[in-house]
Amino acid sequence: MLKIKNELPVQIADGDAWCVTHSGLFHADEVVAICLLTIAYPGDVHVFRTRKPHILNQALSDPRIHVIDVGESCNPAKLNFDHHKRAGGTYKSGIPKASAGLLWDAYGSDVVQAVYSRLSREHQQEGPTRLRKDLEQSVICEVRDILMGIDCIDVRAGKPQSSPEGVHWMPHMISAGVSRFNPLCTVEDTTFTECFTRAADWVLTWVDRTIEDVINQVVTRDIIYQEVDASLSEDRNYIVLRRPVPTAIWQHVLSDMPQSRPITFVLTPTHNGYYVDVALSPSRNAKVLFPVEWTHITGERLQQLLPEEIPPGAYCCKGSRTRFIHSTLLGATAIAEYMSNPKTR
């Protein structure tokens, strides 16, 4: 939980984090950075907003306190994260890092593992609650590319049109949204504090959900890769995914597969059974299509047209002839096996 303070700490409770950032108008880069701390630390995150030199000097000399976007010092080992002297390095694109990127470099691994652990508990997943190291690194890289957009706006005076190719468009919306949380006129500090807290709550939802989404995509891609390996070892040209996977994800993964690893069908669970989808061929040429006579009929009428080896439970075949739905995994597998036989096509 985020807590606003008006003095530096004497003691810091276990699991809590303290940070100092500048007062006055706030921007997306430091708000995102503080949200990252909120995810990384299991306790509360205490924020002191000030520009008073004597307080900043005291905070900079305290190795327990994060000093973010202020203080003219960039030394992550001492928890100092001010990018204004351009001492924080750059992204691969050459864009200088601002507060979001600096905090991500320091806490990206902790944030990813915290989010993954929470997702594992919420979904009661079996197995380890820590993300595999290679997958963690993939998530870190993909989220860094998104945060680059936040930092790009900050260091380029908010000119999205000057952003290089590859910078995500979503951060432009987040930065604009954070700006709108600032008070509409010069008011007392208490109003700034309230506005900052509201902005942080809003940004935290976006940051948390973005990291969840990237983790899900990285883990899903890994599941698909593993299933493709299993299909090849079992000499079959279809894969079976044990949980719902967006079509765009498996299509993207399979389209990047070499021709030596052809996958023709993808089986995925749905609310009323299993989809049997025609996959894109590696060469992206003509697809294998289900028989035209199977289309536009359902239930028992469709079942009567199917070969005897297909168990009962056929639901329908889409008019596009690229998706068949069966109520059971056994039936969906039988459809894939039947269609995989060149003599049946």
pLDDT band at 280, cuts 50/70/90? low
Please enumerate in sequence order all residues whose Cβ is within 8 A of that of 11, keeping only pairs 6 or more positions apart, or say none.
none
User: What is the reported pLDDT for 160?
Assistant: 41
Residue 45 and residue 64: Cα distance in Å, rounded? 12
Query: How high is the mean pLDDT of the chain?
Result: 87
Structure tokens at 306: 């199917």
Could you tell me the pTM of the whole model? Answer: 0.84
C-alpha 73/C-alpha 70 separation (Å) is: 8
SS (H, E, C) 190-201: HHHHHHHHHHHH
Q: How many residues does the chain have?
A: 345
pLDDT in tens, 82-95: 998 777 788 888 88
> Strand, coil or helix: what is 329?
helix
Q: Residue 245 is encoded by which pair of tokens?
A: 């996977």
Both tokens assigned to 186: 């010069």
- Residues facing 45 on adjacent strands: 2, 17
Q: Are β-strands 265-270 and 273-278 bridged in parallel, bridged antiparallel, or unpaired?
A: antiparallel
Predicted confidence (pLDDT) per residue in 219-240, tens digit: 999 999 999 999 989 988 899 9
Give the DSSP letter string of 157-225: TT-GGGPPTT--SHHHHHHHHHHHHS-SS---HHHHHHHHHHHHHHHHHHHHHHHHHHHHHHHHHHHHH
Q: How confident is the model at residue 244 (pLDDT cuts 50, 70, 90)?
A: confident
Q: pLDDT by residue (tens digit) across 72-126?
A: 899 999 999 999 877 778 888 888 899 999 999 999 999 999 999 998 887 656 6
Largest CA distance in the chain: 84
The CA angle 246-323-271, to the nearest 5 degrees, is 55
- Phi, psi dihedrals of residue 48, rounded to the nearest 5°: -115, 120
Render pLDDT for 202-224 as a digit per residue (tens, 0 to 9): 999 999 999 999 999 999 999 99
- How far apart are the C-alpha atoms of 267 and 115, rounded to whole Å? 28
Q: What is the pLDDT of residue 313?
A: 94
